[in-house]
Structure 1
């Protein structure tokens, strides 16, 4: 029980970190796109 519990916790945490990285990449892309739009 304990082993499977911690395993699912790590899986959820890994998924969350993946989503967090994707979110950061999306925000940076939008930020750069906005700056390029303003400069042009």
Structure 2
């Protein structure tokens, strides 16, 4: 799924049966860090 901001949104189910949302934005700095936030 590609949003209007040229980013990517991924919706999936977490292990706890909740809703897991991951968002990737086209930012070089963010890619350099390579950090992923999972709630």
User: TM-score higher than 0.5 here?
Assistant: no
TM-score, normalising length: structure 1: 0.18
Q: Which has the higher contact order (CA 8 A, sep 6+)?
A: 2
TM-score, normalising length: structure 2: 0.18
Q: Greater Rg, structure 1 or structure 2?
A: 1
* Structure with the higher helix share, 1 or 2: 1
